[in-house]
Structure 1
């Protein structure tokens, strides 16, 4: 029997990059062949399968920013590749990857499975921009594509707001390989042993200013540090966050780290007291999945993605409406109550093992691929 050929199209940075690599490193290579079409200025690391064999990849001008010239070139070049490679299915990841893939799907008749990892129209509070992005999503949802959501929240939003028919949706929760080994830190440790951890660039989505305000409230009664990791890509609100840190006199209470290796991120997360997130929206955040795999309790905002992973009074606390006072009180509670912290820690690991171990869950994705070809 011939293999099913999947073409992955994406802008390969951050969680989107992690997502694809987890899929490629776990999917059955006896049944599936993969190729990758990604941006010419995103990741430099090779893509490998479960046997550590390099996967065929093509670089085209897929960039985060909207550019008529680059986007047209990306579509034209990717279309040429698709026509030559003749995949059975296209799996797009990220907003830009989804736009390019679904245009190509329309032109070639090849079915596209699209995983947004958070819809683009959520990235702004400006009404005109939000309406325009939502309209694009609505138009692209009508073609020969299936919404392959990364979380239940994303699935419901696709149906209720974007307008996908339920029959044109599927769900594959983000998942990772169990973390059996935490590597040594490859960068100098400049922060104290007692700290909170958060991963994500200062931007509208991550709502980092709210996180700084929470840190300020916590430090009124608890001496705690924050290590903010992964600031390097598209950190458009970094200056705003740094100014707030100075205004609240928190310079000695926060360490802001540029983009570093995944091994360093896992090390920092594994040694933290708690993982925290004040995001306005997510797909299904890998940083939180990794914290669960490392048995770290969470205190997070009640948004898409976060609420799918963190259950109140089980593996952490999920705070509604970015209530700064409530957020800080729950952090203080977990810092002070060791028995509760230990209970949430055990439940965090249990959540990961039951729902987000890709070694077990990859068969669900393989079944979805096969079903869409029937």
Structure 2
């Protein structure tokens, strides 16, 4: 059987970049030829397939923010590449990749799978922008594309809010490889031995300000340090977070870490007591899957993705988004009750091994690609 050629189209940063690399490094190279089209300024790290060979890639003018000039330029650049490569399938990732992929797929008669990795209209409080982004998603829904949701709750949102027909939405849960070895830190350790942690840039989505307020309340009764990983170039609310830390006199209680190696993230999660997420929205967060794989209980907000991964009082706790008292109560419970923490931590690993191991689940994605 001839290989099916799949082109992945995306702005390759954060969780989307992790997703793509995991797929490329696990999908069957005897069945599929993968090619990547991504932005000129997103990643300089090459992509590799299952056999350790470099994956063919093209760079075009895809950027995170809206830019009429660059967006039109990227359409023409991508059209030219796709016309030359003539893939069997386009797998378009996130908002920009999804828009470009579906438009060009329609023009060239190429089928498209679109993975939103959390819909773009969730990313803003601005009602005009939110309406614009949602209407773009609605306009491009169905047609020549299937939506490949990263969680059951993302599928629910796609059918109930965006207007996808149920038959046009498939779920393939985000999943990762087993974490079999914890490597030494590549950065200096500047925090105390006892801590809890999170991964997420200071942004509207991750709502780190809420986490700081929760920690402030917790520390009135039981002192614990917080490490926030992922403070990078796309951190629109970093100043706000720093100001809040200063205002609440918490400089000694919080460590803000810049982007670092993924192995460092594993090391820090592995040594933490448990994991926190105060996100307003998610697709299905890798950091929580990684925490489950490392046997860490999680205390999370009740948003898409989080609520798919965490079962309340089984492998962690799920709290309503603005419930600071609820967060405080469950965090204190885990800090004070070692038996409970050990039980939830053990269940965390069971959740991972049964549901989110890509070595077991990659065949589902291959089947979707083949169909």
Report what 1:183 is aligned to: 183
By how many angstroms is 1:183 displaced?
1.1
Cα distance per residue 1:31-87 (max 9 Å; x no partner): 111000001101111100111000000000110010111011111111111111111
SS in 2 for 1:303: coil
Matched, 1:271 2:271: yes
User: Within 1, Cα distance between the matches of 2:348 and 2:6?
Assistant: 33
Change (3 A) 1:142 1:364: closer
SS at match of 2:137: helix
Q: Do the aligned partners of 2:280 and 2:321 also contact (CA within 8 Å) in 1?
A: no
Aligned to 1:307: 307
Per the alignment, residue 326 of structure 1 pairs with 326
Residue equivalent to 1:3: 3
Partners in 2 of 1:258 and 1:191 — Cα distance?
14
Residue 37 of structure 2 corresponds to: 37
Aligned equivalent of 2:363: 363
Aligned to 2:96: 96
Q: Deviations over 1:177-211 (max 9, x none)?
A: 00001111000000001111100111110011100
After TM superposition, give the deviation of residue 264 of structure 1 in Å. 0.8
Question: What is the distance in 1 between the residues matched to 2:78 and 2:357?
Answer: 32
TM-score by length of 1: 0.98
Match of 1:125 in 2: 125
Listed one character per residue, the Cα deviations across residues 84-132 of structure 1 (whole Å, up to 9, x for unaligned) are: 1111000011111111111111111111100000000001122111111
Instruction: Report what 2:222 is aligned to.
Output: 222
SS at match of 1:173: coil
* Cα distance in 2, alignment partners of residues 44 and 345 from structure 1: 36
- In structure 2, the residue matched to 1:87 is 87
Aligned pair 1:201/2:164, yes or no? Answer: no
**1:148-202, CA deviations, whole angstroms, 9 ceiling, x for partnerless residues?**
0000000000000000001111110000100001111000000001111100111
Could you tell me whether the CA contact under 8 Å between 2:39 and 2:59 is conserved in 1? yes
C-alpha separation in 1, matches of 2:354 and 2:327: 27
Counterpart CA distance in 2 for 1:218 and 1:44 is 41
Q: Distance in 2 between matches of 1:34 and 1:111?
A: 15
SS at match of 2:170: strand
2: CA distance, partners of 1:100 / 1:308: 29
CA distance in structure 1 between the partners assigned to 2:217 and 2:107 by the alignment? 54
Measured in 2, the distance between the counterparts of 1:211 and 1:100 equals 36
Counting only pairs closer than 5 Å after superposition, residues 135-146 of structure 1 correspond to structure 2 as: 135-146=135-146
Residues 269-289 of structure 1 show CA distances to partners (whole Å, capped at 9, x for unaligned) of 111111100000000000000
Looking at structure 2, the residues matched to 307 and 242 of structure 1 have their Cα atoms a distance apart, in angstroms, of 28
Number of corresponding residues: 371
Structure 2: gaps of 5 or more residues: none
Q: CA deviation at 1:291?
A: 0.4
Q: Counterpart of 1:87 in 2: which secondary structure?
A: coil
The Cα shift of 1:298 comes to 0.3
Q: Which moved more, 1:310-319 or 1:138-147?
A: 138-147
Q: Distance in 2 between matches of 1:141 and 1:299?
A: 34
Point out the more displaced range, 172-181 or 98-107. 98-107
How much has 1:143 moved relative to structure 2?
2.5
Task: Tell me, in whole angstroms, the C-alpha distance in 2 between the residues paired with 1:109 and 1:213.
Answer: 51
